[in-house]
Structure 1
């Protein structure tokens, strides 16, 4: 049985890929890969193991019209389109993108609220701008290629060159927020599927404030070492509160917007040349 994907949502991260995957996976003719993001086409090593990886993550009980992979590293990984072409030549793509500057802000806030960032926005982004995506180590979920992931023009052109426009449905996050049912109907029409009668439209992987605990290792080892009968008598929650803080998403102004736009300027021109820059992207649009 062929258990390779025939439908891919390759990105972009922090643009609603998790929600879109969740919505589409509710259709009886779509089999979403377990875990959403196996990153099989990102690196050569994982690509060589593609049959084994997908065999364990897709439902083998029946043939679905589509098998869905939604790994968000497939846009930024330069060789991913060619690997997908070699493996699944008739694959279809649904790509969702948001305002490029707003995507950078959301990416930073997502990592910030999960405790992966200690620096302020500008030095953090500037430091990572000198690094480039490494397909062998950069798909663990905490990658920090903030601006590179918003270079839609460079990355989408690779897919257009390999697959052509008729194999790609391009959506915007703004559209999906405003009218999710209409966007889903557009997806099902593109896939030649009848929309299901009902879909759970709860949003997934939303960036929001979180409580982060940073308990010292010695204290954690102490709690694990003492008997349960003694641990229950000690004020564990109270002690934990000493090392817990609430982290909220940051807000950004025109200074940060201009900083990001300057880094994206050349790629914005590519987006315009490809006809993919959306009039809904108002934050970036005011600098054009």
Structure 2
């Protein structure tokens, strides 16, 4: 039997780090040794015959606990969801959602502070998207995918081709920030655990993220995402 019971596969910059931090305090939950394991997006693995012991070595003995990890690139990265389904068809998946415009801006700020990104946000979300067509795998990029990772409806539709709806829990980053007790209660119910102990809101990797975002860029991205957000609502009932 596979050791890992649940994964938080997306979305990047949508509260996954805060959620991982909260879950570390929930009795009955055993998390990976590091937040982002990056196994199912590893193109160096022989996916014709993967060695899952390498993956499961990232988890300490669980002693009957529910075992999980959070690698938010999985939902975006090609073939990662298919690899997860092959590993554990019964995997439970927790999806964190955030306004895609805010997510793109936060993603760009992160890559700018880290160093890979040197171009302005306005250029990156327009002309800069062409960079993805020179990447490998084609059309995907770990750092520069500011716009593409925000097509939630498209990615969720692919998710539902591989996993039934009752194995997926959708949550909003804003709700985790303002009402963590309700969100953690939903997660524990989803994972078959008793209600968690009370907790307080906590800030993890949060800054003045919206300062400097130009209204013209907001309007542009809202237009880019309009159709996809309608698709997301049709699939999940969630409006962003």
Q: TM-score, structure 1 length as denominator?
A: 0.72
Matches within 5 A, 1:1-288: 4-46=3-45, 47=47, 48-60=49-61, 62-130=62-130, 131=132, 134=136, 138=141, 143-199=143-199, 201-207=201-207, 250-278=211-239, 281=240
Deviation of residue 54 (structure 1)?
Answer: 2.1
Q: In the comparison of the two structures, how many residue pairs are matched?
A: 235
Distance 1:257 1:249 in 2: 11
Distance 1:138 1:64, change over 3 A: farther
Contact kept in structure 2, 1:125 and 1:146, CA below 8 Å: yes
Per-residue CA shift, 1:209-239, capped at 9, x if unaligned? xxxxxxxxxxxxxxxxxxxxxxxxxxxxxxx
Larger Rg: 1
1:67 match: secondary structure: strand
Deviation of residue 200 (structure 1)?
Answer: 6.8
Distance 1:277 1:77, change over 3 A: same
1:190 match: secondary structure: helix
Q: Considering only aligned residues, what root-mean-square deviation do their CA atoms show, in Å? A: 2.6
Distance 1:257 1:194 in 2: 41
Q: Which runs of 5+ in 2 are unaligned?
A: none
Distance 1:199 1:25, change over 3 A: same
Contact kept in structure 2, 1:40 and 1:50, CA below 8 Å: no
Q: TM-score, structure 2 length as denominator?
A: 0.86
